[in-house]
Structure 1
Amino acid sequence: LKIFNFNKFGGVIAAFNCQGAGWSPKEHRFKGYKDCYQTVSGTVHVSDIEWDQNPEAAGSQMSYAGDYLVYKMQSEEILFMNSKSDPIQITLEPSSFDLFSFVPVTDLGSSGVRFAPLGLINMFNCVGTVQEMEVTGANSVRTDLKGEGRFMAYSSSAPEKCYLDDKEAEFLWEEETGKLSFYVPWVEVSGGISHLSFTF
């Protein structure tokens, strides 16, 4: 089973292995039949998301033909994909699942930095925690989040400065993968909204 959903700044595909589960007329409930359990294989592609069906995405960068950052929840792996890329091959064990989050990669003008916010990756729909994103200059970007947890983004270069609600924040940046991450606390006074900004 493969389903998709939209977010304001991305999309998500969920893949489930439901083999061996079904309705039991005798017990009047869904149950597993272990003798029917089996591994399933399939593919995931950015084109599986019907971007043009989302009013917020139509005509925006969400449905563009550039690169998307893909985040695989179970392995925390990130990779890149565009409309012409080969699909991602997946194999799911019985009663297992994986989530694939897609975020357009933004080029920050003359700085040459490429940036894509994944949001709070402790949430199943991590991209759904991204409330706003705005390029504020050739070397800066602002992101608003809702929630608490581990924020992650892709950044092709390490930021010179990172700010969380106007206070400089420590961050971790992995040169090999471009993963940029740090912890975001819950802000009660703002209803859980945090303001992040990055300068390169």
Structure 2
Amino acid sequence: EHSSDLFERLQCRYLTRREFQRYMSDPSMNAWFVSKHMNEVYQDMNQPLCHYYIASSHNTYLSGSQVSSESKTEMYRNVLNRGCRCVELDCWDGDNNEPVIWHGGTLTTKILFRDVIHTINKCAFEHNPYPVVLSLEVHTSGDQQVVMAEHIREIFGSRLAEPFNDETSDDLDFTPETLREKFLIKWKPPRLGRTESQLAL
């Protein structure tokens, strides 16, 4: 039905942007689409992780404007279900020693770091088994970094990828295949001179 509608539209002098997108992604209108390539992974997934482009999300938690929109845990579910494999968490000190996620210095709302980790853990591999990178932008105190580390270890459990031994491992230990259903944590280490509690992550 959609294909016939598109065919009729092609008789006109123009297509809308949405119609063009439908045309370009419709297998029945494009013979070069191979069903195998659409329904299963056919690429080599045993190369080092750095050999791949990784679909990433910026300010993942925001539902709209970067200045005044709501922060929602559901946004993580949305992007992960659409194939994103790297999500961003901007981490700040929250009340009651519970870190929060929000776009610091703006009117955006705050959500608990713990709730975000729970959501990611629940839906990260529903449709895609390949590893998920959590890109942490950490603005928290050392004490709340400890809380973040505790939440990550407790909630992710065995799904958390542990650092490999540099002396016995190589790049092929870090491939999409060997890291199936694993979480990787990416963050910028603190500057020298921080207290031990600030090295929790």
**Same topology, TM > 0.5:** no
**TM class, shorter-length:** under 0.3
**Higher relative contact order (CA closer than 8 Å, sequence separation 6+):** 2
Structure that is richer in helix per residue: 2
| Structure of higher CA gyration radius | 2
Q: Higher strand proportion, which one?
A: 1
